[in-house]
Chain A
Amino acid sequence: MSEELKSSPHSEALHEGASELRRFARALVGPVSTRTADALAQTAIVRIEAADRLGEDPLERAFAEIVRLNRRRVRERGRATESAEISGESERREASVANQISVMPLDERESLLIIALAGYGYEAAARILDLPVSSVVSRLMRARARLDGARPGVAPRGGHLRVVK
């Protein structure tokens, strides 16, 4: 057998974060595409692992790669303005948060998930999503207003937000 495969801190960080990356990818892609989501995460991990860049956070780059790969997947399938893929099961879970997120526009879903699920701050989220911070925040606000709209008795402040149906 040949010599032991070298394991750098860069690779370790990616493997340690693999579960979080897959979780984010699954939420981003939607409920019926677990295999596709896992493949996205896997692809991102391998690509970032193969291209160590000094001074850059490999996990942050892997999140950005998942976002980029998913945008490309959606664009190539002609679903840029559509929601995530929805299963028949989702009809039975109509009120669930997961289902509400899965039918959000992709740009809002990305911002909401990178902050509320992956736990990144606004500046890191802007780097990952390749957007200005102001765009990330406005998309996050729209996403939360959309979820608020599904809760009885909660309405946004007048004039600040437009709830898109």
Chain B
Amino acid sequence: MKRSTRVQYLGFGFLYLAVLISVLALGAIVYFITVNGIKVINWEFLTQVPRRAMTRGGVAPALVGTFYLTISAILFALPMGLACAIYLTEYSPKSAMVNVIRMSINNLAGVPSVVFGLFGLTVFVKFLGFGVSILSGSLTLGIMILPGIISAAQEALIAVPQSLREASLALGATQWQTIRKVVLPTALPGILTGVILSIGRAAGETAPIMFTAVIFYTRGFPKSIMDEVMALPYHIYALMTEGTFPERQTMIAYGCALILLLLVLMVSGLAIYLRQRSRKYELT
């Protein structure tokens, strides 16, 4: 065998190994969390409030809290992100301002999540006086997921064929009519994919809500948007670092981690399904 062929075998072997490690990592995480988490998840776990210093009962308030935080974050970030994407792809004049906006979106995407937490603490909790609440937390989360929503929406809008826009404009439609009736409906699957992935991100983030929305334990369910809440990701952290019954708490944390993992798998699955469906649609 030639030396170069041997090197090729060795090199390709390494590539197989690399991809195998990535797959195994996912496999290990899913396996350990599922096997342990499934033991504690039952109807009571999903619907009851925690009891006896977090060792009995369920995690329902954390589920509800995460639900509220995520939905409000999306409600805040989606209109703003969509408007920004529409402006950049449909209206944007080639100006310096647009480049500045593009750059700030990229930079915002790279800001560490804990820094968003500091921002939320100063602006929403302290300065605007919202206190530690669902409102503060979801606004902070909303700003964090904004760049993701903008770039997903931008990608979807760019993928809309130029000929569709031209056809609509040629029929006498104004630009806003074209965007609303032609471009947006065509780009909808792509935009939805981005939104769905952002749901996963918002639901799982901990650092931004640590100082802005969550506490370890609430007696019941949040009654208004100004209430502080429990949230699944923070609940995992709190269970692992506080309290006096580490073993029992670890099992409950496994349950919470499994719920988060299932959420992420569902969200990614849905996104992949949507993407493939829209691809099929394009081909036919």
Chains A and B are bound partners: no
